[in-house]
Amino acid sequence: MENRLKTRPRAASFAGASAPRRAGHAARGRLDLGPPVAVIDIGSNSVRLIIYEALTRSPTPIFNEKVLAGLGREVQSTGLLPADAVEKALAALGRFRALCDTVGVASLWGLATAACRDASNGRVFIADAERICRTKIDVLSGKREAKYSALGVTSGIHRPDGIVGDLGGGSLELVDVHGNRIREGVTLPLGGLALQDISSKSLKKAEKFVKKALAGIPGLAAGAGRSFYAVGGTWRALARLHMWQTGYPLHVMHGYVIPAKEALEFSRLVHRIDPQMLSRIEVVSDARRPLLAYAALVLEHLVRVARPKHVVISALGVREGLLYSLLDPQQRKRDPLIAAAQDLNVLRSRSPPHGEELTSWTDDFLASSGIDETPEEKRLRHAACLLADIGWRAHPDYRGEQSLNIVANAAFAGIDHPGRAFLALTVFFRHVGLVDEELSPRLRELASTRMLDRARILGAALRVAFLISAAMPGILPRAPMRVAHRRLVLDLDAKLAPLAGERLFNRLRQLGRLIGRDPVMVTG
């Protein structure tokens, strides 16, 4: 289990609020991990500001706004950023700078990509942008953009292995990643706005251009049988459309997986018919719809050439890659899922140290039980322990449901959707018991039979733990639970002996049935 940075609650101040402030009772609405930081990303299609709570391993956005300025829509044909797009972008940047001042951002980084590096008036625009933003705007080369995209995927996908494709309005960056190893990337003028411009809005011409451009990339063959990590707003819109059309039970983009054959067929469908004819097209913004066909066209041919096993959507890209690169080596090594779970534990649990104790307590139980556990299953179990008490403020009748929804839809990185289902189900079972009549059957389908079984066992173990500790620290170390001599033994020290009663024994027996062991409580 990783050590966690000590945190202090940050006091909240509200205009007109009259609630008294008492020492030690300041609001914990945000973690005090340092001052807010922000990134302004000037892309070929959108200009975006994200303000993060702090520079951490699992950065949490506290403000996120974008303006679809369309800077890159005519760069390929005219070589210029359009005047109206420049005006719209600069106005947005003025607002973004004011927002940063309002929030008290300590560090602001500016990035610009394909449109600004390719346009002949790009330098003039960047000079104006720097004056307005009062910070340097880093115009990324294609290779650096590819690197930051890959770092974003590395920061948010647990042990990635495949090819990252970052599709913007002006360009497509491709780079091979394997764990922390990142190869040199390439950039191609295959962004949606660029293709629209090059082809004079002809999909047939655009398809010929895409085929020719991808045929000259020998590194794509290395993607066979691996993952293709799709980064970029228009690909996320395409995935959102697929998600809604298939009735998928989660609406979290990060980590959404589409089998390669299905991605191929869906992409072909989207770029060959009028997007307005597609079911649930309303889940895609009006501004994104004209670019959907071009994004689908590029994805179809990438899947054909690279032959990946599946397409994985990454919500983390250039911006998060930049922040990840700014961390020291020790911070970069931290598990982003555990870091995020620890943050939620601090913010929402009755006693954060108790969540940490649960991980050790269940470590001992699992080690003695004979139940085999992979490293991935262990990290998920640790995350579940940290999240086990985040719903305690809800009404008792709804704690399971609310905790499940929070966990299943949280902005976690470093976890796939089956892992989300495991965490959500574990915390649900911890609150409501081992009944699942209230659960969506589709959510259960995301977890394998093995994962569902592990969620029940861990949920049952947590039910025992909370009945002993009342979520307070320092109790569980004095009440170890282990399998010994083929029995499930709960050993309470002498001072905890009064806790031994019928209710606790019933929960112990319930767990014993799941693992095939007779329960025994020992006191003294």
pLDDT by residue (tens digit) across 287-317? 788 899 999 999 999 999 999 999 999 999 9
Question: For the chain, which domains are there?
Answer: 37-139 (3.30.420.40), 143-321 (3.30.420.150), 336-523 (1.10.3210.10)
Distance CA 312, CA 258 (A): 7
Taking only the tens place, the pLDDT of each residue in 133-155 is 999 999 999 999 999 999 999 99
Taking only the tens place, the pLDDT of each residue in 178-200 is 999 999 999 999 999 999 999 99
pTM as predicted: 0.91
Q: Residues of the chain with pLDDT > 70: what percent?
A: 94
pLDDT at 9 over 80: no
Find the Cα–Cα–Cα–Cα dihedral 409, 413, 418, 424, rounded to 10°: -40
Strands (DSSP E) contained in 370-492 are 481-484, 487-492
Task: Tell how far CA 249 is from the center of its chain.
Answer: 17
pLDDT band at 31 (very low <50, low <70, confident <90, very high): confident
pLDDT band at 30 (very low <50, low <70, confident <90, very high): confident
Distance CA 359, CA 363 (A): 6
| pLDDT for the residue numbered 28 | 57
Distance CA 382, CA 365 (A): 13
| pLDDT for the residue numbered 7 | 33
Taking only the tens place, the pLDDT of each residue in 414-467 is 999 999 999 999 999 999 998 777 677 778 889 999 999 999 999 999 999 999
pLDDT at 88 over 90: yes
Q: What is the mean pLDDT of the chain?
A: 91
pLDDT band at 274 (very low <50, low <70, confident <90, very high): confident
User: Bigger pLDDT: 267 or 12?
Assistant: 267
| pLDDT for the residue numbered 496 | 96
pLDDT at 283 over 90: no
| pLDDT for the residue numbered 278 | 74
| pLDDT for the residue numbered 16 | 32
pLDDT band at 48 (very low <50, low <70, confident <90, very high): very high
Task: Tell how far CA 78 is from the center of its chain.
Answer: 38
Complete DSSP assignment for 396-421: GGGHHHHHHHHHHTS---S--HHHHH
CB 419 within 8 A of CB 254: no
Q: What is the mean pLDDT of residues 155-181?
A: 96
| pLDDT for the residue numbered 11 | 31
